[in-house]
A and B are shown apart, each in its own frame.
Chain A
Amino acid sequence: MRGLTKVFGTLRACDGVDLDIARGEIHALLGENGAGKSTLVKMLFGSLEPNAGEIRWNGEAVRIGSPSEARRLGIGMVFQHFSLFEALTAAENIALSLDARTPISTIAAKAQALSYSYGLPLDPYALVGDLSVGERQRIEIIRCLLQTPQLIILDEPTSVLTPQEADKLFETLERLRSEGKSILYISHRLEEVKRMCDRATVLRHGKVVGHCDPRQETASSLARMMVGSEVHAVVRTADTTGSADVLLRVDRLSRPPATPFSIPLRDVSLEVRAGEVIGIAGVAGNGQGEFFEAISGEVLQDRADAVTIRGKGAGREGITGRRRMGAAFVPEERLGHGAAPAMKLSENLLLSRHATDPGVYVGALGVIRHAAIAATAKRINQMMDVRKSAEDPAANALSGGNLQKFIIGRELDRQPAVMVVNQPTWGVDAGAAARIRQSLIELARSGSAVLVISQDLDELFEISDRIAVMHNGELSTPMSRAEATFEKVGLLMGGAEPGHVHHHDPAEVA
């Protein structure tokens, strides 16, 4: 690729990017969120059209106008956000991207044979909606391999896998390399890039900032290339809680599945004490979202004592009720859930705080006190170092990292006794992530109970005092930081893998 450029409005998502991939190598594409990695590979796979630059394939200039043209050339892709159809079977999903003349039964047999030969067992007649994320990725990989590609693009493949599943994936990739196939491996996880990749290209703000041999670099030198400056390591002071008060208690919480493909919660119990951070690990889609909704009060419980906040039963309280009891919640989606996208930061502040701080932001006769809101917004922006283009921009005008800093700051500003955060740094740049993690630790040390749900194991190991794992709607007993290892947590995350559990017995739904 030479001088590839893609412009979205005023944003140059990719700016004159050069990239060479040799036959039989695993080439890493490194970069922070928003560095332009996904945009670049979408152009390579024909889902986006470059504004300038050229792509040469085996020495010849080509124009890749659509994914099917890319496939004809021999380029396959495993997507980050899976491009699978939940209501169809694995075989049907695979069939959709293959030659239309092959009957589905043939495809199913071929897929099964191939999956076993690569050690990625697959049931071709299972509905995708019933499969775990790791199994879905297998379908994507098998689908890609059935097209006999010469170049395989993997977009953040391990972000949804347990450490053990990731090891399995690395074995597969090494086997593919030995078969002479090229792999473009996109990741921001430096350890796995160092371990496996032959060469690396680092992107920052849409530009190539360097080519290197990852095995010659250290993790911190790679990180510096990605971020462009030193990233402050998060400092975790010793946990001194011991027998402090339990501020958040979840007692035998159960919840039936909300949709046919979602997970029921089964008898989840947990205690979070003042002064500690508890991390909940788990592969995406194992009930973490459902758990967060149940704790935050988006979904009510039958029993008031299913969720207890500061000693009072909160199970029948809604979100505002639970906030008034001293809790704060930060959901996974920033736009549309954590903040109203088109409204200004000050308005978003008022929306969540008018009920919890009566009389402060809304005066007599329901008149809004703009001065008080502006003062608080300023305080939050300073505390969390929120970088913005205007004095009071709309929420969707901020970058993901800055908006997340604002939302976390909005909740921290209340000095909540209980703080529950789902995926605190998902899609957030390294600098902002470090800031957010540090503030969560500091909140706990100042005497609050903090519960963090995250898919990022590195993050949980960085900030948690105890770690529990959610798998298939059940929560493990929390392990102290001292006894928790990647391997132990990974095994719990995998549950009964490799075979998957059928979550949906008809009797259960009825």
Chain B
Amino acid sequence: MGMAEAILLTIATAATPLLLAAIGELVVERSGVLNLGVEGMMLMGAVVAFGVALATGSAWIGVVAGALAGMAFSLLFGVLALTLVTNQVATGLALTLLGIGLSGMIGVAFVGQPGVKLEAISIPGLTELPLVGRLLFGQDPMFYISILLTAGVMWFLFRTRAGLTLRSVGDSHSSAHALGIKVIAIRYMAVMFGGACAGLAGAQLSLVYTTQWIENMTAGRGWIALALVVFASWRPWRVLAGAYLFGAITIAQLHIQATNLADLAGLPGPLYWLAGAVKSVPSQFLSALPYLATVVVLVLISRNRRLTMMNTPASLGRPFVPDR
């Protein structure tokens, strides 16, 4: 396996949890609900997936359990924000805080334990192909799930009647209600889909990315996923691009941090000097770079205000109470 191939594979692994969480949140926000609890739902997914995989010995059962945990946790948000009409921002924040605490508590026993790894797939004859074999046919299942989900969400939102209904609820819930569309029911389904996606993202972290449970292991990825959705102007393919950009810079800065300047002594003068300059940047800044760069790039591509505002669900975050 070549160096470039290895790097591309790690990029995909770093991008996948973001993509999963963000694509779920995109559907939630397209229905007009702002759920800031992504980080909490991811953590719940991660800890439950890890624990169940450990207990059953099957990573797959862990994945399913992680998705279900995220969905159940999002249902809590749904009951509070949709049925009891609490403030969505406050409820989402509470969900994140609860998720951090609860997952830490559940996971005390798991700290330091070796987990179960969700193995990469292997198709005889295809996986061994040079260059593209591992990239296309030899990655872990979560990678394929994330890509399929993104394509599925694109198709659903813009090609199906159900997707049109969901977008209409996000655009104007009172108009939708006047037409007899069940606003709250649709929002519940969207919120639960978002929860399941966040749970999957968490499962990817604890079963593929690290294969262990570390308290607060999402490290702000839930927030980046939220930012991705906004800066991607609620469009799935932009979320995909943003997630991979984040993944690429994460891996690049890891490589920079890991490289020893002495190993590069053979480089030509200017390149060596450049490497030295990069290495002199504090490591904390390099660690922050993926977050920073993703936001900057997405801000730049969402400069067209009209396009952005047109894609913004007009009812986003506004509570809906039918007048009966």
Contacts and interface: CB of A to CB of B under 8 A. Distances in A.
A96 B181 CA distance: 9
A68 B180 contact: yes
A66 B180 contact: yes
B22 to A, nearest CB: 21
Nearest to A87: B171
Contacts of B306: 260, 504, 506, 509
Given A260-B306, A509-B306, A88 B178 contact: no
Report the interface size class on chain A.
20 to 34
B215 to A, nearest CB: 42
Contact of A88 (B168, B181, B305): B168
Given A84-B172, A96-B179, 14 more contacts: A48-B323, A49-B324, A68-B180, A69-B180, A83-B172, A85-B168, A85-B176, A86-B171, A88-B164, A95-B161, A96-B164, A97-B179, A509-B304, A509-B305
7 contacts: A67-B179, A83-B174, A83-B175, A83-B178, A504-B306, A509-B305, A509-B306
Interface string B156-191: 000001001101100110111111110000000000
Interface string B284-324: 00000000000000000000111001110110000000011
B171 A88 contact: yes
Contacts of A95: 161, 164
Contact of B171 (A48, A82, A85, A510): A85
- In this complex, the member of A49, A85, A92, A510 whose beta carbon has the largest number of chain B beta carbons within 10 angstroms is A85
A285 interface: no
Contacts of B167: 85, 87-88
Given A509-B305, A509-B306, A87 B179 contact: no
Interface of B: 161, 164-165, 167-168, 171-172, 174-181, 304-306, 309-311, 313-314, 323-324
B314 A92 contact: no
A68 to B, nearest CB: 4
Contact of A259 (B164, B172, B309): B309
A46 interface: yes
Contacts of B324: 48-49
A367 interface: no
B164 A71 contact: no
A100 interface: yes
A159 interface: no
The DSSP consensus for interface residues of chain B is helix
Contacts of B165: 96
B206 to A, nearest CB: 38
Nearest to B165: A96
B171 A260 contact: no
Contacts of B323: 47-48
Nearest to A508: B306
A108 to B, nearest CB: 13
Given A48-B324, A509-B305, A85 B180 contact: no
A86 B174 CA distance: 13
Nearest to A93: B168
A46 B168 CA distance: 20
Contact of B178 (A47, A92, A127, A129): A47
Nearest to A101: B161
Given A96-B164, A100-B161, A85 B175 contact: yes
A49 B324 CA distance: 7
Contacts of A88: 164, 167-168, 171
A97 B161 CA distance: 11
Nearest to A103: B161
A67 B178 contact: yes
A426 interface: no
A60 B311 CA distance: 46
Interface string A83-122: 1111110001001110010001000000000000000000
B207 to A, nearest CB: 38
A79 interface: yes
Nearest to A47: B178
A87 B180 contact: no
A312 B171 CA distance: 44
A368 B172 CA distance: 43
A67 B180 contact: yes
Contacts of A97: 179-180
B310 A96 contact: no
B136 to A, nearest CB: 34
Contacts of B310: 87, 127, 129, 260
A172 B159 CA distance: 34
B180 A84 contact: no
Contacts of B309: 259-260
A417 B318 CA distance: 41
Nearest to A84: B175
Nearest to B175: A83
A48 B180 CA distance: 11
A241 B192 CA distance: 68
A104 B160 CA distance: 9
The 5 closest A-B pairs by CB, nearest first: A67-B180, A68-B180, A83-B178, A83-B175, A260-B306
A50 to B, nearest CB: 11
Contacts of B164: 88, 92, 95-96, 104
Contacts of B168: 85, 88, 92, 96
A171 B241 CA distance: 53
A295 B304 CA distance: 28
B314 A86 contact: yes
A252 B115 CA distance: 71
B120 to A, nearest CB: 40
Contacts of A49: 324
Contacts of A66: 180
Interface string A52-84: 000000000000001111010000000100111
B178 A87 contact: no
A509 B324 CA distance: 41
A250 B95 CA distance: 52
Contact of B179 (A48, A83, A127): A83
A75 to B, nearest CB: 12
Contacts of B176: 85, 96
B305 A260 contact: yes
A66 B185 CA distance: 15
Given A87-B314, A88-B167, A79 B178 contact: yes
A133 to B, nearest CB: 15
B303 to A, nearest CB: 9
A114 to B, nearest CB: 19
A88 B177 CA distance: 16
Interface in A117-160: 127, 129
Contacts of A84: 172, 175
Nearest to A257: B306
Contacts of A87: 167, 171, 310-311, 313-314
